Every structure is written in structure tokens, then in C-alpha cells.
Amino acid sequence: MAGTSQKKLNLKLKVWRQKSNKDQGSFVEINAEGVSEDASFLEMLDQVNESLIKKGDDPIAFDHDCREGICGSCGFMINGNAHGPQKGTTVCQLHMRAFKDGDSIVLEPWRATAFPVIKDLMVNRSAFDRIISAGGFISVDTGNAPDANGLPVPKPDADEAFANATCIGCGACVASCKNASAMLFTSAKVSHLALLPQGQVEKTERVLRMVAQMDSEGFGSCTSTGACSAACPKEIKLTSIARMNRELLAATLNKKEAVEGDGV
Amino acid sequence: MAVASARSFLLTSIGKKYLMGLTGLIWAGFVFAHMAGNMLIFVGADAYNKYGHFLTSGYFIYVAEAVLVLSLLVHVGCAISLTIENRAARPTRYAVTPNGSKGVTLASMTMAFHGSIILVFIITHLITFKFGTYYETTVDGVVMRDLHRLMIEVFQNPTYVFWYVISLVLLGFHLSHGVGSIFQSLGLRNDRTAPTIQKASCLYGVVVAAGFLSQPIYVFFFAG
């Protein structure tokens, strides 16, 4: 192929192998030979898995889907960094040219009580789904699609809401936080809807329920280290957490109790 | 109803951070005032003793002490509770520490460590001074405690000065991360103010630590 590099890398992988959630798990050294610099990190693992399968070994299990950085399926720790050394990048969008020939690379799954390991580098992130089901949505009537500009939204609010809506729920924030806190994820979802007119109806209930669910899943609290935001492939800002804290206080103060006859 | 929602708010992870932030704010304000007041060491023994006498006369001192002790208890209590929860949320450590552009400040990672040292320091500091030897002096015909004499005596001891230096550097470290985090926890930070708050927080830690440090070091080297 024209314009592609012919350089091949030989790498030493130290991969976390764990058969199941009940298994102890340990690091296993696996060599990755003849890796193209143009390969993505996941393609490199595909290559390693092919050779493992040929040898009759169990391939390394890892989550992946779109491989274009928008689905949130992939992600593990590469040398202690969630999604690897590059900022604003998912593992699938990380390329092997970020590494040098002869490098040792340590691969570990996300580590958090709320994210139990399923196998090798795969973890169960359904805790995030439960946080979303607790309130990360708006209730709308079905019918025709509304006019695009039927509901005016100020441009700065739209931009801010969009920046928060880009969260793909990969879990890098939890993985990189020393407290395994899900505050960046939850705050991105709270911020996204709190900034838009469509989100106002359920604003109070949403933040109260989502925070309660987040706490009950066993995530830690925020120490404002900023590790989450630095690791976030979508670069969600730490100030989203400040907004969620504000929203939670406001919701506590504004909460209205349902009374008999409200139809609830 | 109000009590129930306040209770459930304060029991959330975010509610506890609000308590940490508010009590931290009280103590951050106190240490600055304490440091500034102690600068009277550089003015003279009488000025220093008169200031101490003024603060301890009247009811103000009891209110201030009650607020500070209560704040400290809440701050430490929340810190212990949150640390236990946080350790449970992440029982396994990674084989490699995050680095490069995804690394974080040392101060933010070690709050519980310097917090504990500072707590021990506060206790030893109170034993040494507040509950220490009671000397008397007369300034302008008023009999008062000669705290200046005790302070000069204490800061002749190199071990003591060393312990103060370590503790105060750690206090500066604690404040450099803590003051900024107060704004974050109380939801008072946004994209526009965040960079300024971060810088101001570092400056606050440096100013308080440097101000406090100047006092025992000056006494040890020049006022013996």
C-alpha cells in the first residue's frame, strides 16, 4: 500500500489472564511479533489471538464493537493508563506507532468493585446501564418528529450539552479514578439533560435517582484528582461534576413530595 | 420532610463531600487568620501577648473553638467514612501507575496521608501551646499569659522545629489541593473560573505554609 510504513514492531505483552469472575487471575507474558505500525491496538491483539488460537491456546478476551471510537465498548489499562498513553483516544483508535520496537506493554482490565471481571480484559459494566435507567432519559410523547427549531436552545447551552452528550460510557473514568468513582460518567449524563429544555421536567428526580443508584452500585466518591477527565476519550470536563453537585443540592431543596390525589 | 431530605442528601457520597468542603473552608480560613495573627512574633513580645490576651478574653473564643472542634470532627469523620468507601470501591491496585498526560498531582492522591499527619500535628500543637506551661507577664498594667516566652522556648528545640516544618509543608500541600476542591465539591466551579481557582488554591497553600514556616525558623535561628 502506498504511503504506509513497512516498519514492524516486536513487543512484549504482559496480559492479565483470568478465566472467570471466580478465578484469581494473573499476568501472562505473550510476545507480539511483526506488528505493523499502522495497526490499531485492537488489530495487534487480533493478530496475537490468531497465533494463540493456532497454537491451541485460549485467545485474550477483550470488548470491542465499532472500532471507530464512538461505541464505548473497548477499553482496558495500557501501562497504567486507561485507553493507553494518548489523550482523547479510545483503545481502538490508538495505533501501534505510539509504541517503540521492543517495548513492554502491561495490559489490565478496568479495576473496580462495581465492574467485576468477566474474563481477561473484559469487565461487566451493567452498573452504568442501571445508573442510566435510574433517570438518564427524558419522557416524550410519541408522534411526529418536532420541528428542528421548534424549541429554542441558546447556542452555548447546546454546545455544553453536546460536549457532555459525547460520553460513550466506556468506563475509563471509573478505571482511572483511585476511588473507582463514577462521578464523571453520571455528571455527564446529568449535565447533558440539565442544560436542555427537554430535560427540565424530570430534572429534580433525575439527579436524585441517578446519584442514589451510583452510590448503591459501590462506586467511590470524587477526590477531584482529575484522573477521570484526563483519561476520558471524549474529554468530558471535571466541571461537569461540580454541576452535578449543584444540581443535587438544588434538587434536594426543590423536591416536592407527591400527595394523595396526584395520580402517582 | 425537610429533615428527611437533608439527611438523605448528607448521606450521599456528594453530600459528604459538601460537608468536607464546608468544614474544610472553615479550617482553611482559620489557618490563614492564625498565620497572619502570629506574624506579630516579628513585631515583639508585648504585641504578641496582647493579641493572644485579646483573643482569649470574652466569649468569642468559646464560640470559635466550638465551631473549629465541631468542623474538625465532621471533616475527619467524613474523611474516614469516604476513605473506607473508596478503598472498598477499588480494592485492587494496578500493576503500573498512570503517567504522562494522564497522570495526576501528588497532593490530590495523598490527601488522607497528609490529613492524618496534620491531625496528629494539631493535637501535639494544642498540648504544647494551649495546654502548655503557663507563664505570666504584665503588659500595660494588665496581667496576661506570656505565650511569647513559651513559644521562644519551644522553638529552641531542633526536633520540635523539624516536626513543625514537616507538618506545615504537608499543610501547604493539603491546602493546595483542598482549597480548589472546596469549590468543586460545593458546585461553585465552572469552565471559566476553574483555571483561576486551581492557581489560587496552589498559591493559598504556598502562602499559608511559607507564612507559618517563617515563624519557628526565625525564632530558631535569630530569636534565641
Residue A147 domain-assigned (yes or no) = no
CB A241 within 8 A of CB B13: no
What pLDDT shows up at residue B181? 96
**Same domain assignment for residues A110 and A131:** no
- Are A95 and A132 within one domain? no
Note which residues in 140-169 of chain B have CB less than 8 A from chain A.
none
Our count of domains for chain A comes to: 2
Residue written as grid cell 506493554: A105
Q: Cell 514492524 identifies what position?
A: A8
Q: For A217, name the nearest residue in chain B, comparing CA atoms only.
A: B89
Residues A60 and A174 in one domain: no
Smallest CA-to-CA distance from A242 within B76, B214, B187 is with B187
**Contact criterion met (CB below 8 Å) for B47 and B33:** no
pLDDT of residue A263: 62
Q: What pLDDT digit, counting tens, does each position of A115-146 carry?
A: 999 999 999 999 999 999 999 999 887 888 88
Mean pLDDT in residue range B155-178? 96
Is residue A92 domain-shared with residue A201, that is, in the same domain? no
The span from the CA of A53 to the CA of A59, in Å, is 6
DSSP secondary structure letter of residue A112: B
Of B146, B178, B164, B193, nearest to B30 by C-alpha is B178
Summarised one tens digit per residue, pLDDT across range B168-218 is 999 999 999 999 999 999 999 999 999 999 999 999 999 999 999 999 999
CB A212 within 8 A of CB A135: no
Distance from CA of B34 to the nearest CA of A (A): 27
By Cβ distance, the residue of B85, B94, B177 closest to A221 is: B85
Measured distance CA(B217)–CA(B224) in Å, rounded:
11
* In-domain check, residue A220: yes
The pLDDT > 90 percentage for chain B reads 88
A255 φ, ψ to 5°? -60, 130
Q: DSSP strand E in chain B: where? A: 136-139, 142-145
Tell me whether strands A117-119 and A77-78 are parallel, antiparallel or unpaired. unpaired
What ipTM is given for this predicted complex? 0.91
Region B32-40 average pLDDT: 97
β pairing state of A8-17 and A104-108 = parallel
C-alpha span between B111 and A129 (Å, rounded): 31
Q: HSE of B213 in the Cβ direction (CA atoms, 13 Å)?
A: 16
Range of the structural domain that residue A247 is part of? 125-140+152-263
pLDDT given for residue A255 in this prediction: 84
Q: For residue A226, which of B107, B15, B79 has the smallest C-alpha distance?
A: B107
DSSP one-letter string for B71-86? HHHHHHHHHHHHHHHH
Three-class SS state of A13: strand
- Identify which of B13, B181, B191 has the shortest CB distance to residue A224: B181
Same domain, A157 and A246: yes
Q: Closest chain A residue to B87 measured between Cα atoms?
A: A179
pLDDT of residue A264: 53
Within a 10 A sphere around the Cβ of A25, how many other Cβ atoms?
A: 17
A76 & A206 share domain: no
Task: Please state the φ and ψ torsions of residue B38, each to the nearest 5 degrees.
Answer: -65, -15
Confidence (pLDDT) at B224:
65
The reported pLDDT for the residue numbered A131 is: 98
- pLDDT value at position A140? 82
Using 70 as the pLDDT threshold, list the residues of chain A that sit under it. Answer: 1-5, 262-264
**What are the pLDDT digits (tens) for A73-114?**
999 999 999 999 999 999 999 999 999 999 999 999 999 999
Q: Which residues does chain B have within 8 Å of residue A178's beta carbon, measured at their own beta carbons?
A: 86, 90, 109
Report residue B142's pLDDT band, with 50, 70 and 90 as the boundaries: very high
Query: Are A114 and A136 in the same domain?
Result: no
In chain A, which residues have their Cβ closer than 8 Å to the Cβ of B12?
Answer: 211-212, 215, 248
Question: What is the band of B3 on the pLDDT scale with cuts at 50, 70, 90?
Answer: confident
CATH number at residue A78: 3.10.20.30
Tell whether A4 is covered by a domain: no
pTM equals: 0.93
DSSP annotation of B128 reads I
Nearest-Cα residue of chain B relative to residue A86: B101
Decide: A245 and B190 in contact? Cβ < 8 Å: no
**Domain-located, residue A100:** yes
What is the spatial distance between Cα A181 and Cα A228, in angstroms, rounded to a whole number? Answer: 9
Residue A210 to residues A182, A215, B39, B84, B173, Cα–Cα distance (Å): 11, 9, 49, 22, 33
Report whether pLDDT(B110) > 90: yes
Residue B84: what pLDDT? 96
- Give the pLDDT score at B192: 93
A89: nearest CA partner in chain B:
B102
The pLDDT tens digits for B111-123 are: 999 999 999 999 9
B1 touches chain A (CB under 8 A): yes
Q: Assess B102–A contact: CB distance below 8 Å, yes or no.
A: yes
CB of A130 within 8 A of CB of A213?
yes
Same domain, A42 and A93: yes
Adjacent-strand bridge partners of B137: B144
Residue A2 lies in a domain: no
For residues A99 and A135, state if they share a domain: no
Q: Are residues A112 and A194 in the same domain?
A: no
Residues in chain A closer than 8 A to B9 (CB atoms):
248-249, 252
Together in a domain, A107 and A129: no
> B115 in contact with A at a CB cutoff of 8 Å?
no
Confidence at residue A4, expressed as pLDDT on a 0 to 100 scale? 61
A262, three cell numbers: 396526584
Residue A167 belongs to domain with CATH number: 1.10.1060.10
pLDDT at A144: 86
pLDDT at A150: 85
Helix (H, G, I), strand (E, B) or coil at A227: helix
Report yes or no on A26 lying in a domain: yes
Mutual orientation of helices B45-56 and B147-154 as an angle, nearest 10°? 120
- Nearest alpha carbon to residue B28 among B157, B154, B171: B171
pLDDT at B97: 85
- Cβ-count burial A183-215 (b if 16+ within 10 Å, e if not): bbbbbbbbbbbbbbeebeeebbebbbbbbbbbb
Q: Domain for residue A86, yes or no? A: yes
CB within 8 Å of chain A, chain B residues 5-44: 5-6, 8-9, 12-18
- Domain assignment present for residue A171? The answer is yes
pLDDT at B1: 54
Beta strand ranges found along chain A (DSSP E) = 8-17, 26-36, 77-78, 81-82, 104-108, 117-119, 122-123
In chain B, residues with a C-beta closer than 8 Å to the C-beta of A112 are 89-90
A38 and A110 both lie in a single domain: yes
Of B72, B73, B44, B110, nearest in space to A178 by CA: B110
